[in-house]
Amino acid sequence: MRQGLDRRRSLKLMRWGGLAFVALDICSHALMARGDAPSALMQAWAPIAPWLSVLTTLILALLLWRATRELVTVRADNDVEAARQQEVLDALQIGVVLYDREDRLALSNRDFRQLYQNFAKALVPGRTFEQLLQVVVDGGGIAEAQADPRAWIAQRLAQHRQPGPPVLRQMPDGRWRRIIEQRLGDGSLLAHSVDVTELMERERELQTLNARLDALNTELAQLSETDALTGLANRRQFDRRLSQEWTRAQRHGIPLALLILDVDHFKPFNDHLGHPAGDSCLREVAALLRGSAHRPADLVARVGGEEFAILLPHQDGHDADVVARRCLEAMASAAIAHGHSPVAPHVTLSIGVVHVGRVDGGLEAAALVAAADAALYRAKREGRNRCVHAAAL
């Protein structure tokens, strides 16, 4: 800083000194040229004038040499400073580029040039941003521009002229950059870009992990509401769906039906044939019930050891009886052998059926289950292998 001030003062002194000697030389020649000057002055000045002229010339030459030397030094210092600034820019791990107020390339750093190393010959200071953009797009350097290059260039130029939020762009080398452009006070535009490829990869990995976590949570939720043996809904899911359907029926005044089913004399079957045979029997019964209540809205659940339930939204008593008869017929057709049943030589069901035409605001869903249970026990008392329909609620 001090050195710069001394140089400016030295140049100023040389400038004024030179002007003084030039003025003195002019006066000397003027006096010599005037014929009416006093003879005494002329006589005194005559011997000095030639030497003074030579001295003036020498001093002017010295001043010119000194000024030239100072100018060369200043330019060298400027070159050193510019080189130092460029070295600092090149050391940055981000891409930096500056366009002047006429949108011409003013400077760039190594990281920026490496992004477009295939177009190095085009990255010449003085070229406009539009010219550079056209070269890169024409050379296939921007994948997203290839579908409609003209439209993409127009859009990119609009963004460049009025910089907005940061944008993500995939570079020619396949890596991703976060680009920020901003106008400076003199109208020039500074742009810098940061490599966010690893961040993008981590984000994709995180999204993948989140998707897997969501899938696992969904699977866990399904498992928590699914009977492991039969694959049917379990008691938890049945209670949740019953509450939902009861609320819906109450709100919209639509019918709702419920079947409670029990495998007749299952304990003797299990005791004599063993648990594996008992499990196989329950799985087969579950499949038969699922095939008998096949609407998407119907819910077939295993709610106890050998007890099942079928929830029939938007179905009245007649519809429920049809499903119950279908279940009994399916069991008869399957004819799962049961040599220890006093009812039939095959496995049979007892079914309690109930429906509600219009849900009363004072009733609870538990009333529907209680009525179906009561009908089920009636079916058992009346000989099993049948369905009994409770009075409508």
Report yes or no: 300 and 285 within 8 Å, Cβ to Cβ. Answer: no
* Confidence band, pLDDT 50/70/90 cuts, at residue 1: very low
* Confidence band, pLDDT 50/70/90 cuts, at residue 11: low
pLDDT tens, position by position, 37-68: 455 555 555 566 566 666 666 666 666 666 66
Sheet holding 167-170, edge to edge: 105-108, 95-99, 189-195, 176-183, 167-170
Alpha carbon distance 99, 95 (integer Å): 13
- Known catalytic membership, residue 306: yes
Report yes or no: 357 and 257 within 8 Å, Cβ to Cβ. Answer: no
| DSSP states along 5-31 | HHHHHHHHHHHHHHHHHHHHHHHHHHH
* Confidence band, pLDDT 50/70/90 cuts, at residue 2: very low
* Confidence band, pLDDT 50/70/90 cuts, at residue 255: very high
What integer is the mean pLDDT of 164-170?
86
The predicted structure's pLDDT at residue 292? 97
Q: Active-site residue among 284, 306, 329, 382?
A: 306
99: burial class by Cβ within 10 Å (0-12, 13-18, 19+)?
Answer: buried
The predicted structure's pLDDT at residue 5? 47
pLDDT tens, position by position, 343-366: 999 999 999 999 998 776 678 899
pLDDT greater than 60 at residue 214: yes
* Confidence band, pLDDT 50/70/90 cuts, at residue 140: confident
| DSSP states along 33-93 | H-TTS-HHHHHHHTTHHHHHHHHHHHHHHHHHHHHHHHHHHHHHHHHHHHHHHHHHHHHSS
Report yes or no: 265 and 385 within 8 Å, Cβ to Cβ. Answer: no
What integer is the mean pLDDT of 128-154?
87
* Confidence band, pLDDT 50/70/90 cuts, at residue 318: very high
What integer is the mean pLDDT of 273-300?
96
Alpha carbon distance 316, 304 (integer Å): 25
The predicted structure's pLDDT at residue 121? 82
Tokens of 87: 């070295």
Query: For residues 304 and 63, which has the higher predicted lDDT (pLDDT)?
Result: 304
Instruction: Among 42-56, 79-93, 209-223, 342-356, name the most confident range.
Output: 342-356
The predicted structure's pLDDT at residue 23? 57
